[in-house]
A and B are shown apart, each in its own frame.
Chain A
Amino acid sequence: MKISIIGSGNVGVAAALYLIEKKVADVVLIDIVKNWAEGIAMDIVHVSPIRKYDVHINGYSDFSKIKDSDVVIVTAGKPRLPGMSREDLLRDNIKIMKQVSEYVAKYAPNAVLITVSNPLDILAYVALKVTGFALKKVIGMAGILDSSRFRYFIASELGVSPKNVTALVLGGHGDLMVPLPRYSTVHGIPVTELLSKSKIEELVERTRKAGGEIVSYLKTGSAYWSPGCSAAEMAECVVRDKRRIVPCSAYLRGEYGIDGLFVGVPIQIGKNGVEEIIELALTTEEKEALHFSAGKVKGTIEKLEAEKLI
Chain B
Amino acid sequence: MEKVSIIGSGNVGVATAFYLAEKGIANIMLVDIVEGKAKGSALDLSEAAPVRGYDVKIEGSSDFKNIKGSKVVVITAGKVRKPNTLRYELLEENVKLIDPIFEEIKKYAPKAIVVVLTEPITAMTYYAWKKSGLDRKKIIGVAGKLDVTRVCEYAAEELKVSPIDVTALVLGGHHKFMVIPPEFIRVSGIPITELLPEEKIKKLINSAREAGTTILSLLKKQTSTYSPGAAVAETVGAIVNDTKAIMSVSTCLEGEYGFKNTCLGVPVIISKKGIEKIIDIELSLEIKEELKASADVINKTIESLGI
Residues of A near any B CB (own CB < 8 A): 52, 159-161, 163-164, 166-168, 180, 183-189, 193-194, 237, 242-247, 266, 268, 278, 280-281
- A243 touching B245, Cβ below 8 Å: no
- A161 touching B238, Cβ below 8 Å: yes
- A244 touching B164, Cβ below 8 Å: yes
Of B184, B188, B248, the most chain A CB neighbours within 10 A belong to B188
The yes or no answer to B206 lying at the interface (CB within 8 A) is: no
Decide yes or no: A245 and B161 within 8 Å by CB, A166-B167, A188-B185 being known contacts: yes
Q: What mask results when residues 245 to 270 of chain B are scored 1 for a CB within 8 Å of chain A, else 0? A: 11110000000000000000001010
Decide yes or no: A188 and B184 within 8 Å by CB, A183-B190, A243-B161, A278-B190 being known contacts: yes
- B161 touching A244, Cβ below 8 Å: yes
- A185 touching B167, Cβ below 8 Å: yes
Residues of A within 8 A of B165 (CB): 166, 244-246
- Output the nearest chain A residue to B187 by Cβ-Cβ distance: A245
CB distance from B154 to the nearest CB of A (A): 15
The yes or no answer to B209 lying at the interface (CB within 8 A) is: no
Decide yes or no: A187 and B190 within 8 Å by CB, A52-B53, A166-B167, A244-B161 being known contacts: no
**Would you list 7 pairs from A and B whose C-beta atoms are within 8 A, ordered by A residue?**
A161-B244, A166-B167, A168-B190, A184-B189, A243-B160, A243-B161, A281-B194
Residues of A within 8 A of B194 (CB): 280-281
In angstroms, Cα B162 to Cα A247, docked, is 14
Residues of A within 8 A of B185 (CB): 188
The yes or no answer to B168 lying at the interface (CB within 8 A) is: yes
**CB contact between B190 and one of A193, A242, A280 (< 8 Å): that residue:** A280
Residues of B within 8 A of A268 (CB): 161
The yes or no answer to B243 lying at the interface (CB within 8 A) is: yes
- B244 touching A159, Cβ below 8 Å: yes
- B279 touching A189, Cβ below 8 Å: yes
CB distance from B266 to the nearest CB of A (A): 11
Residues of B within 8 A of A167 (CB): 189
In angstroms, Cα B247 to Cα A163, docked, is 11
Decide yes or no: A189 and B169 within 8 Å by CB, A161-B238, A243-B160, A243-B162 being known contacts: yes
The yes or no answer to B48 lying at the interface (CB within 8 A) is: no
- Output the nearest chain A residue to B248 by Cβ-Cβ distance: A187
In angstroms, Cα B53 to Cα A243, docked, is 30
In angstroms, Cα B187 to Cα A280, docked, is 12
Instruction: Kindly count the residue-residue contacts between A and B in the assembled complex, taking CB atoms under 8 Å apart.
Output: 84
CB distance from B273 to the nearest CB of A (A): 13
- B184 touching A244, Cβ below 8 Å: no
Residues of B within 8 A of A187 (CB): 167, 169, 246-248, 267
**CB contact between B282 and one of A183, A188, A193 (< 8 Å): that residue:** A193
The yes or no answer to B186 lying at the interface (CB within 8 A) is: yes
- What are the 8 tightest A-B residue pairs by CB atom distance, in nearest-first order? A187-B246, A188-B184, A183-B189, A245-B188, A166-B189, A188-B167, A161-B245, A244-B162
CB distance from A21 to the nearest CB of B (A): 14
- A164 touching B246, Cβ below 8 Å: yes
Residues of B within 8 A of A160 (CB): 244-246, 269
Residues of B within 8 A of A180 (CB): 189
- B168 touching A188, Cβ below 8 Å: yes
Residues of B within 8 A of A266 (CB): 188, 190
The yes or no answer to B281 lying at the interface (CB within 8 A) is: yes
Decide yes or no: A246 and B188 within 8 Å by CB, A52-B53, A189-B169 being known contacts: yes
- B190 touching A188, Cβ below 8 Å: no
Of A185, A237, A246, the most chain B CB neighbours within 10 A belong to A185
In angstroms, Cα B52 to Cα A52, docked, is 12
In angstroms, Cα B30 to Cα A287, docked, is 56
In angstroms, Cα B161 to Cα A242, docked, is 7
- A168 touching B246, Cβ below 8 Å: no
In angstroms, Cα B168 to Cα A185, docked, is 10
Residues of A within 8 A of B168 (CB): 188
Residues of B within 8 A of A237 (CB): 162
- B188 touching A168, Cβ below 8 Å: yes
CB distance from B241 to the nearest CB of A (A): 9
Besides A243-B162, A266-B190, 16 more A-B contacts (Cβ < 8 Å) are: A52-B53, A160-B244, A160-B246, A163-B243, A166-B167, A168-B188, A168-B189, A183-B189, A187-B246, A188-B185, A189-B279, A194-B279, A194-B281, A242-B164, A244-B164, A245-B188
